[in-house]
A and B are shown apart, each in its own frame.
Chain A
Amino acid sequence: MNNNTTNTSMRNAFFNRIYEIAKNDKDIVVISADMGAPALDRFRRDLPGQFINTGIAEQNTILIAAGLAIEGKKVFAFAIAPFITLRCYEQIKVDLAGMNLPVTIVGVGAGFSYEDSGPTHHTLEDVSIMRILPNMIVNTATDNVMTVGFVDLSLKMSGPNYVRLDRKILPNIYKQETDFSQGLAILKPVADINIVATGNMVHRALEVSEELKKQSLEIGVIDLYTLPIDEKLFLNTINNAKKIVTLEEHTLPGGLGGAVVEVLADNNKLIPVKRIGLNLRKGYCYKYGGRENIQSLCGLDVESIKKTISEFK
């Protein structure tokens, strides 16, 4: 196994792992809508028979992936996240979810990853639309160890899943060989107030908890990386929690926070929840100046989150 997952992008970590496995498994196929990665260059060079480029034609990317999967191929369909989800959503619905085909959709650019590229490239709706499809699993990567773990999990699945990768290098917080089949992890012990976060915002949650610790406020941090939520596990995990803050670089309707409150409401666990994410009323973000700047404008920076939690307390 290639454990070199530091200082490389998530997509590199992901495709390096696929490369290692695909060398010995000719049924693994990567299909790209003209999206690249250095690790994919090696894949293409060494395993040309297992790499397909459809060009910038995401509907066809999913259709070809479906046909390959019907014939027993283990397919990874790859592009920038908004294009490989929203552009071809109906193909994903009818063909992957509808026929429960084992295709892994790999989207790069979760949240404001493409901070320089504007709303066409921001990926702020994908969790909402992907998690409502029957049979679909949504996995959001927090670091490269998890990213690699998602490759292995994907290959064990009998149905479709969507892997959301950040465009940026996020520091590794998980130990090598961590088992990610649980769908969530407790990163700071469950306390009265707990942040449930996903993806890059897990790192933000850890920062916030460190800051608040200085003010003698212990905050639990849970990384909820797999949707749909394993309800039993989640309810057990937060059994002693008094309040929950959900945190995501994603639009609020239908996102992680929405998924959390659905589980709580359906199970009569009526504890206060504050959802932090993107407010639809603000519209699309046409601001630039770096991801931190955009996050500040949207209330996702450390200070804003601290303030929100203090007011919620």
Chain B
Amino acid sequence: MPNINELNKKAKYIRNQVLDMCVKAGTGHVNSAFSAVEILVALFYGGIIRFDSKNPKWKERDRFILSKGQASVLLYPVLADLDFFPKEELDKFNQISGIFGVHLQHDVPGAEITSGSLGHGFGIAAGIALAAKMNRELFMTFVLLGDGECYEGSIWETAMFASHNRLNNLIAIVDRNHLCVTDFTENIVALEPMEEKWKSFGWRVINVNGHSIEEILEALKGFRSRKFTKPLVIIADTTKGKGVSFLSDAPLWHGIAPKGQQIDEAKNELNKEE
């Protein structure tokens, strides 16, 4: 089992990186990224995803598809930290000389796909998982969905396709942060009961606290053994903006970077001694 304390420290480091990037650029989806920090840290640092940052297209790598492309400001610092590309690129986020902007783009090493319009990455991930089965390749495909993304009809087209085709090499994680742009999901159009929806579409469901790296790793225990024919969805209960009080569970902070005094306030809270 990886050292959870170390992983939590990594989560704190990544949150700081996200904040720094977005503050400098004056844009970026800080709170959408903060809800999924522990999920990405568990996957990339917890011994789950196989990758080779010096050979990003390594054939046997696990594919990680960020379907909620607005959280690219979370994936990019992770990829930079793992040496997929130089860390200096983070300082050039949304700059003339930079290689990426707010939404995910496929030509960034390690990014795999372009994403920003919701409801796409999940289907692409299912196509990749299907190709792996056709080619008898053993890599796994992980896909991170936003819960707001689950309003898209294409998500459910893919959900039934993936279970029908027994894509047990596909693992979806829903970042269930309960919040969209303008309001909480249950006020907009209720997404609950989420678990029953996925189950009825033929998926195996595990619920976790999405800010507990231990719980995420526990849910993924033995995931390569494919004991089930059904694909797995992990519904990760999270808080949008986790780590900074004024960003947490706050509608209308979507896609906005803190400014002025807010920056110090956010930094102080992120870095206070436990």
Interface residues of A (CB under 8 A from B): 26, 29, 49, 52, 54-55, 57, 59-60, 62-73, 90-91, 94-95, 98-99
Chain B residues, Cβ within 8 Å of A95: 113-114, 120, 124
Q: How far is it, in angstroms, between the C-alpha of A179 and the C-alpha of B67 when the chains are bound?
A: 41
Chain A residues, Cβ within 8 Å of B126: 60, 63-64, 67
Smallest Cβ distance from B159 to chain A, in angstroms?
A: 9
Q: What is the 8 Å Cβ interface bit string for chain B, positions 106-131, against chain A (1 contact, 0 not)?
A: 10000011101101101111111111
B132 at the interface (CB under 8 A from A): yes
Contact yes or no, A91 B154, CB < 8 A: yes
Chain B residues, Cβ within 8 Å of A49: 134
Chain A residues, Cβ within 8 Å of B113: 70, 95, 99
Contact yes or no, A71 B132, CB < 8 A: yes
Q: How far is it, in angstroms, between the C-alpha of A73 and the C-alpha of B132 when the chains are bound?
A: 11
Residue in A29, A55, A66, A90 whose beta carbon sits within 8 Å of that of B123 in the complex: A66
What is the interface of chain A mostly: helix, strand, loop, or mixed?
helix
Q: How far is it, in angstroms, between the C-alpha of A62 and the C-alpha of B131 when the chains are bound?
A: 14
Counting chain A CB atoms within 10 Å of each CB, the highest count among B120, B129, B132 belongs to B120
New A-B pairs, 17, CB < 8 Å, besides A67-B125, A90-B117, A98-B106: A26-B134, A54-B157, A57-B154, A59-B154, A59-B157, A60-B126, A60-B161, A64-B126, A64-B127, A67-B124, A67-B126, A68-B130, A91-B154, A94-B114, A94-B116, A94-B117, A95-B114
Contact yes or no, B120 A94, CB < 8 A: yes
Chain A residues, Cβ within 8 Å of B193: none
Contact yes or no, A60 B123, CB < 8 A: yes
Residue in A63, A69, A71, A72 whose beta carbon sits within 8 Å of that of B154 in the complex: A63
Which 8 residue pairs of A and B lie closest in terms of their CB atoms, listed nearest first? A67-B127, A63-B123, A71-B131, A60-B157, A57-B157, A64-B127, A59-B154, A67-B128
Q: Count B-side interface residues using an 8 Å CB cutoff.
A: 28
**Residue of B at shortest CB range from A94?**
B117
27 A-B residue contacts at CB 8 Å?
A54-B157, A55-B160, A57-B157, A57-B161, A60-B157, A60-B158, A60-B161, A63-B120, A63-B122, A63-B124, A63-B126, A64-B123, A64-B161, A65-B127, A66-B123, A66-B124, A67-B124, A67-B125, A67-B126, A69-B127, A70-B124, A71-B131, A71-B132, A91-B123, A91-B154, A95-B113, A98-B106
Q: How far is it, in angstroms, between the C-alpha of A60 and the C-alpha of B162 when the chains are bound?
A: 10
Residue in B116, B128, B157 whose beta carbon sits within 8 Å of that of A71 in the complex: B128
B3 at the interface (CB under 8 A from A): no
Smallest Cβ distance from A195 to chain B, in angstroms?
A: 40
Interface residues of B (CB under 8 A from A): 106, 112-114, 116-117, 119-120, 122-132, 134-135, 153-154, 157-158, 160-161, 165
**Residue of A at shortest CB range from B116?**
A94
Q: How far is it, in angstroms, between the C-alpha of A66 and the C-alpha of B134 when the chains are bound?
A: 15
Contact yes or no, A63 B131, CB < 8 A: no
**Residue of A at shortest CB range from B112?**
A70
Smallest Cβ distance from A63 to chain B, in angstroms?
A: 2
Counting chain A CB atoms within 10 Å of each CB, the highest count among B116, B117, B123, B154 belongs to B123
Contact yes or no, A68 B131, CB < 8 A: yes
**Residue of A at shortest CB range from B122?**
A63
Contact yes or no, B127 A66, CB < 8 A: yes
Chain A residues, Cβ within 8 Å of B128: 67-68, 70-71
**Residue of A at shortest CB range from B154?**
A59
Smallest Cβ distance from B171 to chain A, in angstroms?
A: 15
Q: How far is it, in angstroms, between the C-alpha of A92 and the C-alpha of B122 when the chains are bound?
A: 15
Chain B residues, Cβ within 8 Å of A94: 114, 116-117, 120
**Residue of A at shortest CB range from B141?**
A67
Counting chain B CB atoms within 10 Å of each CB, the highest count among A57, A69, A73 belongs to A57
Smallest Cβ distance from B105 to chain A, in angstroms?
A: 9
Contact yes or no, B130 A98, CB < 8 A: no
